[in-house]
Copies of this chain bind each other. A is one copy, B any other.
C-alpha cells in the first residue's frame, strides 16, 4: 500500500516504466520543472507541445536534452492544445497535461464530441490526493474544482473514480466517508437523499469491496479521538481513505486551508476521460504538479 507521495514516487521509479505524456503549451517554469523531474526519475517520456520561443525554463537547455523529452513547436496555444489532445486520443500518449493554457480552452478540447477524449455519458470530475502531516496515510477527495454541486449520478461516478484510484495505490478495502457538517442525516439538506441512496447502493454491492459511511463530519472521518467523543458508531472512524465532499467549495476550502496551514501536499487529476489529465492551476507548487503527474502515471 502506497501511503505517501514519497512512496508513490519510489514505487514508480522501481517499476521502471515510462508513461508518455503530452503537455499542452508547456512553457511556464512550474510545469516544465515538474515534467523534467518526472523525466529525470524515469517515469515519464514528455512531449512538450507549444511555443518554443516563450519557454521559461532555463533548465531545459542547460544540459543535453534527454532522449525522453520531445519538443513539438506549435506557436499557437489553441493549436498546441488540440495537438496534445489528439496525441492522447490516437494512443500516442498515455497522459494529457495542461501547461500555460486557459483551463476553459483545454476543457473545450477535451469535451469536443468528435476530437475530444471524454466518452459519451462519462462524468468529468476532479479526484485529488492529499498528504497531510499527522494523518497516517494519503487521503483521496473529490471534487474541489469541476462540479459545483454534484447530482446523484455525478456523485456516484466521483466515488467510483476515487475507489478505482485508491485500488491503484494498493488500498485493499478503501474507507469512503460521505462528508457533511454533522453525522445527522437531516432531511432538509438538499443532498441528504443522495447520501442515503448512495449508502443503499453500497449495501447492495454497487461500489464493490469498500467500507462506506455517511453523513460523517471531518472529525469522525479523520480522527478517532475527536470522533469518539461523539459516541457515533462508524466503521470509518478516524481512518478514511476517501472523502466525498457535498460541494466543491467545501472540498476546495478544506484542501486550501490545510495546504496553507498544515503543510499538506496535493496531487490531482481530471477523471472520466479516456486517459488521466493533469490540470493543476498556476498557483500550485512544482511539487503539487509533480505529484499530479505521478498520480497519472500510476492510474494510466
Contacts and interface: CB of A to CB of B under 8 A. Distances in A.
Instruction: Using C-beta atoms within 8 Å of the partner chain, give the interface range for chain A.
Output: 35 or more
Contact of A249 (B246, B256, B257): B246
Kindly report how many copies of this chain are found in the complex they form together. Answer: 2
Nearest to A229: B283
B189 A260 contact: no
Nearest to A254: B253
Nearest to A182: B252
Interface in A237-276: 245-254, 256-262, 264
A75 to B, nearest CB: 23
A245 B259 CA distance: 18
A270 to B, nearest CB: 15
A257 B258 contact: yes
Contacts of A253: 179, 181, 217-218, 245, 250-251, 253-254
A121 B145 CA distance: 37
Contacts of A190: 149
- Give me the 6 closest cross-chain CB pairs, A-B, nearest first: A218-B256, A181-B252, A261-B262, A229-B283, A262-B262, A250-B250
